[in-house]
């Protein structure tokens, strides 16, 4: 299996979740071994994708520099990049956040399909988990375990009648992602949105780009897309946060009540010690199913 980029540049305009302003997103192909590079067009600022670039994880995954410039809410887009196995890509925005689109990853999947996938003359390398790595915060945890398959297993528990306890176990595959995970939307509680907007945050949040909840019910007239859409979206987030490493992973991700911050700590801990992982060409894997998952 070879490294991947896109065949042609594509662009789209969407609303930023926090500022509520139009954001132009443009994707351009890059050569082999260039990696995923974000670019703030308005600041002429390159931001390479790496856990070292992460500067905030409170409400979303944010990369960059608070003084020079940053890009927020990259995780939904990166989950689509992960799903399509993109290794090299230039991601250009003209503001400090990614467009939120409909609050899921499906628009980004469609954008990548419009661009087309180009294979490059270099072997695709992935991160194979060699040793268990775990981050805990009380009963909350995220961890990566060695495995011959790539899976994401997420459990959540909310004191809310619509959510309650939910789980999603996702065995990685591009088409499986498009069908079962990509359309799961982010969610928020009306009381929190009102407070955030009073602080000039979440100004772009609407029922067109998120699941809204009051204390008792879903506020979206169309209801949910999946019975366990909340857990599915957490898998989507986790995939995007793992893509901050710049590579697909071969291993088992497990979480209970994980967050962007715990995921950031997990990727940082993973890459801090070479005994935890190895960067290996897909052809060298004994698991041929892994390569077929990108078909």
Q: Which positions are catalytic? A: 260
Least Cα distance to 266 among 231, 287, 239 occurs for: 239
SS (H, E, C) the chain: CEEEEECCCEEEEEEECCCCCEEEEEEEECCCCCCEEEEECCCCEEEECCHHHEEECCCCCEEEECCCEEEECCHHHHHHHHHCCCCCEEEEECCCECECCCCCCHHHHHHHHHHCEEEEEEECEEEEECCCEEEEECCEEEEEECCCCCEEEEEEECCCCCCCEEEEEEECCHHHHHHHCCCCCCEEEHHHHHHHHHCCCCCCCCCCCCEEECCCCECCCCCCCCCCHHHHHHHHHHHHHHHHHCCCEECEEEEECCCHHHHHHHHHHHHHCHHHEEEEEHHHCCCHHHHHCCC
- Between CA 146 and CA 231 the distance in angstroms is 23
């Amino acid at each position: 299996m070879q490294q991947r980029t896109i065949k042609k540049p594509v662009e789209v305009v969407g609303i930023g979740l926090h500022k509520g302003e139009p954001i132009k997103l443009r994707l351009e192909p890059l050569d082999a071994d260039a990696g995923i590079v974000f670019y703030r067009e308005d600041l002429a600022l390159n931001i390479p994708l790496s856990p070292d670039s992460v500067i905030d994880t409170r409400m979303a995954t944010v990369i960059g520099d608070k003084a020079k410039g940053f890009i927020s809410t990259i995780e939904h887009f990166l989950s689509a990049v992960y799903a399509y196995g993109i290794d090299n890509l230039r991601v250009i925005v003209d503001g400090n956040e990614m467009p939120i689109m409909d609050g899921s990853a499906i628009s980004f999947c469609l954008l990548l399909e419009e661009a087309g996938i180009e294979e490059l003359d270099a072997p695709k390398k992935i991160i194979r988990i060699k040793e268990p790595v775990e981050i805990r915060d009380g009963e909350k945890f995220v961890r990566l375990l060695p495995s011959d398959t790539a899976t994401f297993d997420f459990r959540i528990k909310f004191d809310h009648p619509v959510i309650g306890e939910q789980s999603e176990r996702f065995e990685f595959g591009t088409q499986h992602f498009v069908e079962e995970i990509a359309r799961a939307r982010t969610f928020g509680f009306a009381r929190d949105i009102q407070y955030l907007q009073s602080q000039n945050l979440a100004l772009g949040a609407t029922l067109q780009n998120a699941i809204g909840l009051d204390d008792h019910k879903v506020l979206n007239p169309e209801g949910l897309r999946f019975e366990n859409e909340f857990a599915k979206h957490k898998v989507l987030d986790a995939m995007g946060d793992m893509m901050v490493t710049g590579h697909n992973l071969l291993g088992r991700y497990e979480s209970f009540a994980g967050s962007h911050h715990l995921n950031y700590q997990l990727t940082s801990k993973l890459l801090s010690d070479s005994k935890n992982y190895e960067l290996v060409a897909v052809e060298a894997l004994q698991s041929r199913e892994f390569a077929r998952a990108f078909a």
